[in-house]
A and B are shown apart, each in its own frame.
Chain A
Amino acid sequence: MRGCALSYEFDFSFLNDYMPELWHGIWLTLGMTIVSIVPGFALGTSCAIGRLYGPPWVQRIVTIYVEGIRNTPLIIQVFWLFFGLAVLQVRVGPFPAAVIALVINVGAYTAEIMRAGFLSIPKGQLEAAACLALKPSQSLWSVQIPQAVERVYPALVSQFVLMMLATSIMSQISAEELTGVAYMIQSFTFRGFEVYLVIAVIYFVMACLLRLTLLGVAQVSFPRRRRLGTPL
């Protein structure tokens, strides 16, 4: 057995032969991630606000949505959406379907993270805003959302990185992202070990880049952090 392992010769020639496919996979993975972040964040924040401050029926709906999503596998949600829409005669391509599924999925997790952020703001802040005659919406925009985001930013970054890694199942609905491309290459070359090694490195690099980018966004969005180096 040992002799066998040692005699294995690595072959990375697929890197040359399948470069366009690999790039295509990378762009698709990055694309569906980046397109999903902003709407996912907006959906999650709205849901957090609804669950905290909305009327009882809104709170109930948001709770059902959040718990439903957080307690079922992403791939089932994706299938359900993709094939469910087909049953309803709604024709949606794999990429939009993947994005919709990601937004719905990450929105539920973001809702819980942001809810924790809102709850961590001292009551005195809300009292001060109300006593300055700010409307509830003005208090939300100017006082609560900025502070909540700042407090939970690292958790949000982790969630979005996780979401990017989770896109690796999207080839199941024929959105040929990076993992889908890897599967295709290894089925042609039978070089599964090398292919998945390379793919893992690519994911790793993309995750680091996404993290760095989101931390850069924080530097721009939180002037206090930029000025004082306040830890996130």
Chain B
Amino acid sequence: MNCETLIIEPGLAERHYWRDLWRYRELFYVLASRDISVRYKQTIIGLAWALIRPFLTMVVFTVVFGKLAKLPTEGTAPYALMVYAGLLPWQFFSTALSESSNSLIGNANLISKVYFPRLIMPTAAVMVSFVDFVISFAILLGLMLWYQYLPGWQIFTLPLFVIMSFLASLGPGLWITSLNVKYRDFRYIIPFIVQMGLYVSPVGFSSTAIPEQWRLLYSINPVVGVIDGFRWAILGGDDVVIYWPGFLLSWGLIAFFLWLGIRQFRKMEKSFADLI
């Protein structure tokens, strides 16, 4: 018989972990498509939720920050467009973070009954937010038509920033979801982080509104780099510039969190079924 051999021992780091991950990719697709198709079941307007939420947030932010507080926009871009270019990555980041950090707890029955590389779970959860992101993108196109705004060549670098925000949410997401299995406190922390982050990150205003001497410190929030990158790619033009030291710092922090998240996750993975 053409048998493959598997050895189970305590503490044996599986050499085949990444190969296993690849072998279970089909499960990844299935879980992601399950979450996507379940997301708007039994709702009346269904997918339209992915349009309405960011749209209304944009309107409120434009009125509050642009009209009432009279904050400056970036370059010549209309304020609403500037807000939306920041809102897109923020929404993606925040939903991805909360989905992935709840993914293990929400699938407790699977974790305790079948084996698969657990890394699939939070990653598949992020994919759901990605679908929302793609749908919300339609509004951006609508806004550009409305304002007759033509983006520059920079728009083609957008996928790079999408990957950046994906990694930015995956790192902390992995870290929190594995800790969440042991300590449920983290379930209460996430909504708080997301709520705070909306105001701490430059979503409703441009990061140029931050005084120059504080910008590097401000960039400790990795989302700042992501949002700046999005604005640069979408609004284009020569007058929108990236603040490079802050941008590189964001990448550094994203890489660090990703490393931390994967390490924590791999360390705790074996005991998930016992703790959940």
Are these two chains actual partners, yes or no?
A: no
Instruction: Please report B residues at the A interface, Cβ cutoff 8 Å.
Output: none
